[in-house]
Structure 1
Amino acid sequence: MPPWLWWSSLAIIGLCVGSLLNVIIYRLPLMMAAADCRSPIDISCSRDSGCFNLWLPASHCPCCQQTVAWRDNIPLISWLLLGAKCRHCRQGISARYPAVETASLVLTLTAGYCLPPDMTLCGVLLFSWQLLALTLIDIDCGLLPDELTYSLLWCGLLFNLQDRFAPLSAAVIGAAAGYVTLWLIVMVVNHATGKQCMGYGDLKLTAALGAWLGWQALPLLLFLASSLGVLMIILLNLLAKKSLSSALPFGPALAFSAAVLMVMNQLGSPFG
């Protein structure tokens, strides 16, 4: 394949995936809220099709409700051409959309530069894309949806059927140990403080990361994530005057630490 075609293909894939991630990040929490009978949000019906999911209704402006035409839905390019405003009502379009698409593009091109075009590259891309979605959903809503954590876990086990990132036995043990270890820590802290220190989504995410990286990576993963979490709390206390006891999502710290360990894995780390 000519280099220009390879890089063009990667760029298109990265931008399209980024556009899809924007949909997932926005809609999946709403779908979860609608499915929760205790939630005051009711989005079971849409103006277009009578249902609300990742595919329906079609993309539309949240202000004027006009459906977004295909020419205004081209990842990154349309946002720039429209001047970050809706074509119909001229209300501003959040910079979050091009930011996610750009992040997906950078992750995709970086992985394509560092890895040959094989199943390892596919695995790293799936790993990165799912962690990006989980990170932003957790920051926005304090949620780590089962739909993403479970799919991440099963993808990790499937890719490790041939010991691609870790031996299969280490991946299976890593999934179990990741959940159980964090569960024990949470139970001890909850009992000691009388407060819920962490959600079960964090446990499931840790299990998924163990399925990708193997049980040997778990001590370093938890150490890095905990250190990053403490650092963020201290910085928020200093810069935003937030209390040291303020609740912060742990998913982004886990995701960033796992990304670091995945890089180490590909470079030949001692736990790989």
Structure 2
Amino acid sequence: MTGEPWLDAVVVGILGLLIGSFLNVVIHRVPIMMEREWEQECRDYIEDKGWPAPPPSGHTGRFSLLAPASRCPHCGHAIRWYENIPVISYVALRGKCAGCKARISIRYPLVELITGGLFYWCATQWGWSMTTALWCAFSAALVSLTMIDWDTTLLPDSITLPLLWAGLIGSAAHWLSVPLVDALFGAAAGYLFLWSIYWAFKLLTGKEGMGYGDFKLLAALGAWFGWSALVPIILIASVIGAIVGIGMKLTSSLREGQYVPFGPFLAGAGFAAMLLGPERILQSVLSLLGI
């Protein structure tokens, strides 16, 4: 804490850049860790049943968020610490691997900049406080969930469930402005709303329209913003999702199965609620719809 609000915000923003660099690791590795865990569970089940063992998967060695060290996926070049400075290293390397000169995705510095900007904004709103720490964690979680769901259509429990509990604990400790009762009803209503839509759609069509991760994410948003924010969040997520989906369909850029994951739009609505407030985003959606 420096004593100067603007300087405190800058310090928190720089921390956000560093966290954003780590989020790039989370976004890439968590889905792989999940798949390996599922594979091992399947192998254990097969062995318990005494069935013929499947061929080895080829996955060897420890794989976590910390190990092995980051490497270029093209040439295996070990990324040195000075090649991993948020944004600066990307610019210095001109967006290319130091070893093989393969192109590095612009998404890496963008994730860092977005996370840093969100952290800075949180610090300008709530100063050096537990409230700022909570909303920074909220921002980091939603950035990770957005990118993971867009890439893989997965919303990991290891992120959605801690996000849900953080909202409830923040309300109970009065670090968030939402009363605990509103947070509890928001979490329950958020989960049950999408759960009901899921089963109604499945009974009518025989297909699954969304995953359970979407239920948990909306439950988490209900815990952070309260039950009264659920309608604006659902509306803005649905409207933006529909616009993006139609645009992707018209440009033939939909992935196999002709679907668009809903999680990124829920997360986007969560960011809108954090930055503008649920009431203002509801007004914006109604204006967009001409109501």
TM more than 0.5: yes
Quick check: 1:263 aligned with 2:265?
Answer: no
**Alignment match of 2:109 (pick from 98, 109, 122):** 98
> CA shift at 1:241, angstroms?
7.0
CA drift of 1:5 comes to 4.2
CA shift digits 1:221-271 (9 cap, x unpaired): 22222222222222223333759x82110001111111222234499999x
The amino acid that maps onto 2:211 is G
Q: Which residue of 1 aligns with 2:260?
A: 248
What do the CA deviations read for 1:72-92 (whole angstroms, capped 9, x no partner)? 111111111112122222222
Counterpart of 1:175 in structure 2 is: 187
1:232 is the counterpart of 2:240: no
Which amino acid is the alignment partner of residue 124 of structure 1? W
1:120 maps onto 2:140 in alignment: no
- Match of residue 29 from structure 2: 27
1:148 alignment partner in structure 2: 159
Aligned counterpart in structure 1 of residue 212 of structure 2, from 188, 195, 200: 200
Q: TM-score, normalised by structure 2?
A: 0.83
Letter in 1 for 2:12: L
User: Does the CA contact (< 8 Å) of 1:166 and 1:212 recur in 2?
Assistant: yes
TM-superposed CA distance for 1:112, in Å, is 2.3
1:150 Cα deviation from its structure 2 partner: 0.6
The answer for the alignment partner of 1:6 in structure 2 is 8
Aligned CA distance change for structure 1 residues 110 and 267 (closer, same or farther; 3 Å): farther
Q: Is the 8 A contact 2:236 2:281 kept in 1?
A: no
TM-score, structure 1 normalization: 0.88
Deviation string, structure 1 residues 28-69 (Cα, Å, up to 9, x no partner): 001011111269994742xxxx20000001111122222211
Pick closer, same or farther for the CA change 1:229–1:22 going to 2, 3 Å.
Answer: same
Q: Percent identity?
A: 40
The answer to which of 58-67 and 14-23 deviates more is 58-67
1:129 lines up with 2:140 in the alignment: yes
Q: Distance in 2 between matches of 1:250 and 1:41?
A: 35
After superposition, the CA RMSD in angstroms is 2.5
Aligned to 2:48: none
Q: Which amino acid is the alignment partner of residue 190 of structure 1? A: K
Secondary structure, aligned partner of 2:261? coil
Q: Which amino acid in 2 is paired with 1:96?
A: R
Matches within 5 A, 1:73-92: 73-92=84-103
- The question of whether the paired residues in 1 share the 8 Å contact of 2:214 and 2:263 is answered with yes
* Distance of aligned partners of 1:43 and 1:159 in 2 relative to their CA distance in 1, 3 Å threshold: farther
Q: Which residue of 2 aligns with 1:158?
A: 169
Distance 1:15 1:174, change over 3 A: same
Provide closer, same or farther for how the CA distance between residues 234 and 91 of structure 1 changes in structure 2, counting only shifts above 3 A: closer
Q: CA 1:24/1:152 → structure 2, altered by over 3 Å: closer, same or farther?
A: same
Question: Cα–Cα, structure 1 residues 43 and 248, in superposed 2: closer, same or farther, change >3 Å?
Answer: farther
What is the identity, as a one-letter code, of the residue corresponding to 1:238? Answer: L
Deviations 1:111-144, CA, capped at 9 Å, x for gaps: 2233322222222211111101100001111110
List runs of 5+ in structure 1 lacking aligned partners: none
Cα gap change, 1:116/1:5 in structure 2, threshold over 3 Å: closer, same or farther? Answer: closer
Tell me if the contact between 1:165 and 1:265 (Cα under 8 Å) persists in the aligned partners. no
Give the Cα separation in 1 of the matches to 2:201 and 2:277. Answer: 31
Does structure 2 retain, via aligned residues, the 8 Å contact 1:210–1:217? yes
Could you say which residue in structure 1 is the equivalent of 2:50?
A: none
